[in-house]
Each structure stands twice: as structure tokens, then as C-alpha cells.
């Protein structure tokens, strides 16, 4: 497939650039009036229209992208899209002024989703998650991470992970699976934290490993959820099975969660709405990625992460949706990128790099996705005609994604 007359070919990063930190984030290489050749599902070559070789100009099929931009697909490295039911009942509580913590205490929150999960079948969960994932792909997402964490029993966590495995097999995009059994303490373990941690370590982890159901380990390291010590115990046990951490850190308080992740060589620490200078500095010196989830801040009215502070401290910053039924009922990465510009004060270039190459890095697939680079998988989208690159985040709430191409083929899903 040959795409011609591309107004802007976005994210033309060199092959050896696998993530971007600090000032590098503002550099988003763009080729104007370009062509892009895709072969066998991979990016074969690209260049400027005025220099297109005659033998390439004849290749069929061809798509003219006149007036349009071509982006590498969004790489959404933090989602919870396998859930049994939405939680609109909490929406009303939220509108009435209840906080995320108050809703959880009143029987809402993660335990609400866990109750609904117990009776859901694998088929029902797969059908519902497929609709969500299909919507996300149509909005430009071309790689995704999905967490368990609404099971909170051995069998229900395994059920969720098996659904994620089915999504992986069914959809034409990379899907990474994360075990998040340490999402909340089930009611019966409320006074027996060690009992639940032992269950995760001694019963769940060996079965997850035996069925090869997870790529990463996660924990909600937060006041009232998993303490730093409890989180460390789980991360250390998971490391024995080769599961690297990607953890929920500093969402509601800054009490050392990010540092726990960094100390355990986490691929990413995610949320970071509450950070002090020590966190920013620690991430600036670390290879752990700081993944920001501005749609969550927007929806539950908590502070927006200090993206500028992270960038000034030379950290690697990624953006993800956090799509889940409680704190972020949306998986639209276009809106995430808009919010990153509008609320995190990121430049469009910084936000786009964070949602593409650094998102891929937060799933350890940036050697295959996240930029327009020869040899990478041809997961891309073509926009509607746009006046400039900044029009995409500027026109918040409206998708500029016109054509989605995955593995070199137009996605009709």
C-alpha cells in the first residue's frame, strides 16, 4: 500500500530512539508533503513527494492523503477495559459532590465492580470488552495494555486474564496483560491483609505463570489500599516469575509509592496526580516511565499531574487513558492528548510523543510501534484534512481520525 500527498507524516523518529525524556519530548520529527510505503504489514519506506522514485510511485493500491496527517497509532499503556458493568450509579453520587474515596467507602468503587465481576461469564466479559476495544481502535489506538483487578479472588482474576488473552488473540493489535489482583482488599480480607497477599503470592501467581496469562504485575499502592511494604512484597514475589511492575502510584497521596516502583525497576509508575519534588527528581534520574492519565483527573476532579515538572526534571513521560468503569469511563486517546495540552500544559508535540512512542515504551514495544520508522509495524491512522498538527488536540472531543490502518490493512471493525 502506498499513501501519497501526506500533508504531515508525524513522528518520523530514528530507529534507535526508543523513548524520549525531558527536553527530547518537544521534538516530534515531521515530514511535509510525504509518501509512505507499507509492505507485509510493516513500514517499508517513506520520503518527500518531490523525490518519490518512479518505481514506487506506480505501486498499487494507493491512498491519497491530501490535506491530511498520518500518525503512528496511539499506544494506550494503561487500561481496565474488562469489566462486567458500568457504574452510572456512582456518577450521580459524584455529581452530588461525593469524592472518589467517599464513593468507595459507601460500597461503590473497585469492590462494586468486583461484586459484579463474580457472576459474569468469560463470554459476556469478552463481548463487552470487545465493543470497548473496537471503539478505541476506531479512535486511533493501535496497542493497548489491559489489567485484571476486578476479580479479587483467584478464579475471578484468572477469568479476567483469560478474557484479556482472548482479546489478544482476536484483535489485530498488540495487547499486554497485567495482573492487578492487588487493586483493593476484598471485604473478607479487610482485617487480614497478609491473608490476601499470601493468596496472591502462593495461589494466584503460580497459576498465572503456569498459564502464561500476564506480562506485568500491578498494585494500587495508596493510603487505604496497598501500603508501600505490601506492594513491595507482591512486586518481589512476581519478579520471581519474570513479571515486571507497572504500578498505580501517587493518585491520591504522595507517600512513597513512586519510589517503591522505581526501587523495583518498574517499567512505569502511573497516575502521579500527587507528586512532590522528590518524586519528580527520582523519576528524572530513573528509566521508569511516568505515565499520566489526565482523563482520570478530569472525571473524578483530582489534581492534574505535574507534567511540566516531570519534563523539567528530565523524566520519561507517557500518556494513557486509564479506561475503567469508576474513575475514567472513556478510552479516547484523542481526548487524552487534548487534555494533556489543555490541562497539563504540554505542547502538542510533547503530548503526541507521550501518547505514541513513550506509550509504546511503557509496554516495552517501542522497537515495533510508536513512530513512523522503517521496519516498524504499520499501525497508523490518517486524519481528516487538518490545517495543522495542533488542530488534533485543539479540536477536543471530536475525533480527527478518518482511516485506521493496522498491520498495513484498513481496519473496518
Q: Is 391 annotated in some ligand binding site?
A: no
Question: How distant, in Å, are the alpha carbons of 95, 111, 204, 285, 314 from that of 76?
Answer: 28, 25, 26, 24, 22
Interface ranges with Zn ion (CB under 5 A): 322
Any idea how long the chain is? Answer: 413
Q: Is 354 annotated in some ligand binding site?
A: no
In terms of DSSP bridges, do strands 68-72 and 380-385 run parallel, antiparallel, or are they unpaired? Answer: antiparallel
Secondary structure in 3-state letters for the chain: CEEEEEEEEECCCCCCCCCCEHHHHHCCCEEEEEEEEEECCEEEEEEEHHHCCHHHHCCCCEEECCCEEEEECEEECCCCCCCCCCCHHHHHHHHCCCCHHHHHHCCCHHHHHHHHHHCCCHHHHHHHHHHHHHHHHHCCEEEEEEECCCCCCHHHHHHHHHHHHHHHHHCCCCEEEEEEEECCCCHHHCCCHHHHHHHHHHHHHHHHHHCCCCCEEEEEECCCCECHHHHHHHHHHHHCCCCEEEEEECCCCCCCHHHHHHHCCCCEEEECCCCCHHHHHHHHCCCCEEEECHHHHHHHCCCCCCHHHHHHCCCEEEECCCCECCCECCCCHHHHHHHHHHCCCCCHHHHHHHHCHHHHHCCCCCCCCCCCCCCCECCEEEEEECCCCCHHHHCCCCCCEEEEEECCEECCC
Decide: 128 and 80 in contact? Cβ < 8 Å.
Answer: no
Binding-site string for ligand NIG from residue 170 to residue 199, where x marks contact by CB under 6 A and - marks none: ------------------------------
113 sits near ligand NIG (criterion: CB under 6 A): yes
Nearest distance from residue 7's CB to ligand NIG, in Å? 36
Of 222 and 322, the one with the shorter C-beta distance to Zn ion is: 322
Nearest distance from residue 356's CB to ligand NIG, in Å? 21
Whose CB is nearest to Zn ion? Answer: 322
Nearest distance from residue 264's CB to ligand NIG, in Å? 18
Residues 280-299 that bind ligand NIG (CB under 6 A): 296
Partner that binds at residue 52, options Zn ion, ligand NIG, none, CB closer than 5 to 8 Å by kind: none
Nearest distance from residue 147's CB to ligand NIG, in Å? 8
Nearest distance from residue 320's CB to Zn ion, in Å? 9
Of 54 and 96, the one with the shorter C-beta distance to ligand NIG is: 96
Q: Is 327 annotated in some ligand binding site?
A: yes
382 sits near ligand NIG (criterion: CB under 6 A): no
Q: Give the range of 41-49, 154-162, 230-238, 317-325 binding ligand NIG by CB under 6 A.
A: 317-325
Q: Is 324 annotated in some ligand binding site?
A: yes
Nearest distance from residue 279's CB to Zn ion, in Å? 18
Of 7 and 248, the one with the shorter C-beta distance to ligand NIG is: 248
248 sits near ligand NIG (criterion: CB under 6 A): yes
Chain position carrying cell 481520525: 401
Binding-site string for ligand NIG from residue 324 to residue 363, where x marks contact by CB under 6 A and - marks none: xxxxx-----------------------------------
Figure out which of the listed residues 44, 218, 322, 349 binds ligand NIG, where binding follows CB under 6 A.
Answer: 322
Q: Is 261 annotated in some ligand binding site?
A: no
Partner that binds at residue 179, options ligand NIG, Zn ion, none, CB closer than 5 to 8 Å by kind: none
Of 321 and 350, the one with the shorter C-beta distance to ligand NIG is: 321
Greatest Cα pair distance, the chain, in angstroms, is 72
Figure out which of the listed residues 110, 249, 292, 333 binds ligand NIG, where binding follows CB under 6 A.
Answer: 110
Figure out which of the listed residues 8, 109, 151, 348 binds ligand NIG, where binding follows CB under 6 A.
Answer: 109
Taking phi first (over 0 means left), then psi (-120 to 50 degrees means alpha), and beta for anything else, what does residue 109 get? left
Nearest distance from residue 168's CB to ligand NIG, in Å? 21
Q: Count interface residues toward ligand NIG (CB under 6 A).
A: 13
**Where is the binding site for 4-imidazolone-5-propanoate, in residues?**
87, 150, 183, 251, 327
**Where is the binding site for Zn(2+), in residues?**
78, 80, 248, 322
List of residues contacting ligand NIG (CB under 6 A): 109-110, 113, 220, 248, 251, 296, 322, 324-328
Amino acid at each position: 500500500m502506498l499513501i501519497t500527498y501526506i500533508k504531515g507524516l508525524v513522528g518520523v523518529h530514528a530507529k534507535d530512539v526508543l523513548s524520549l525524556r525531558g527536553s527530547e519530548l518537544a521534538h516530534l520529527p515531521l515530514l511535509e508533503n510525504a509518501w509512505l510505503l507499507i509492505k507485509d504489514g510493516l513500514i517499508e519506506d517513506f520520503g518527500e513527494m518531490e523525490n518519490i522514485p518512479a518505481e514506487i510511485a506506480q505501486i498499487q493500491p494507493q491512498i491519497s492523503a491530501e490535506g491530511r496527517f498520518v500518525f503512528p497509532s496511539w499506544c494506550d499503556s494503561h487500561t481496565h477495559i474488562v469489566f462486567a458493568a458500568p457504574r452510572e450509579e456512582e456518577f450521580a453520587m459524584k455529581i452530588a459532590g461525593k469524592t472518589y474515596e467517599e464513593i468507595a467507602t459507601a460500597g461503590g468503587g473497585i469492590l462494586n465492580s468486583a461484586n459484579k465481576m463474580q457472576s459474569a461469564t468469560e463470554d459476556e466479559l469478552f463481548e463487552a470488552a470487545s465493543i470497548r476495544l473496537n471503539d478505541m481502535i476506531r479512535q486511533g489506538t493501535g496497542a493497548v495494555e489491559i489489567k485484571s483487578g476486578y476479580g479479587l479472588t483467584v478464579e475471578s482474576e484468572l477469568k479476567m486474564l483469560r478474557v484479556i488473552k482472548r482479546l489478544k488473540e482476536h484483535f489485530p493489535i498488540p495487547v499486554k496483560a497485567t495482573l492487578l489482583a492487588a487493586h483493593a482488599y476484598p471485604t473478607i480480607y479487610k482485617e487480614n491483609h497478609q491473608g490476601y497477599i499470601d493468596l496472591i503470592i502462593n495461589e494466584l501467581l503460580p497459576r498465572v505463570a503456569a498459564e502464561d496469562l500476564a506480562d506485568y504485575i500491578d498494585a494500587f499502592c495508596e493510603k487505604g489500599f496497598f501500603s508501600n511494604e505490601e506492594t513491595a512484597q507482591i512486586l518481589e514475589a512476581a519478579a520471581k516469575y519474570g513479571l515486571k511492575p507497572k504500578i498505580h502510584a501517587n493518585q491520591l497521596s504522595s507517600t512513597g509509592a513512586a519510589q517503591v516502583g522505581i526501587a523495583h525497576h518498574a517499567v512505569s509508575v502511573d497516575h502521579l496526580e500527587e507528586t512532590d519534588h522528590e518524586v519528580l527528581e527520582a523519576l528524572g534520574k530513573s528509566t521508569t516511565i511516568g505515565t499520566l492519565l489526565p482523563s482520570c483527573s478530569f472525571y473524578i476532579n483530582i489534581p492534574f499531574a505535574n507534567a511540566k515538572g516531570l519534563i523539567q526534571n528530565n523524566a520519561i513521560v507517557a500518556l494513557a487513558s486509564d479506561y475503567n468503569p469508576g474513575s475514567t469511563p472513556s478510552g479516547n486517546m484523542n481526548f487524552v492528548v487534548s487534555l494533556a495540552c489543555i490541562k497539563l500544559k504540554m505542547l502538542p508535540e510533547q503530548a503526541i510523543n507521550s501518547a505514541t512512542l513513550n506509550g509504546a515504551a511503557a509496554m516495552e514495544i517501542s522497537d515495533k510501534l510508536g513512530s513512523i520508522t522503517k521496519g516498524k509495524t504499520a499501525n497508523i491512522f490518517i486524519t481528516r484534512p487538518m490545517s495543522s498538527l495542533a488542530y488534533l488536540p485543539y479540536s477536543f472531543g471530536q475525533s480527527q481520525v478518518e482511516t485506521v490502518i493496522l498491520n498495513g490493512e484498513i481496519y473496518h471493525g
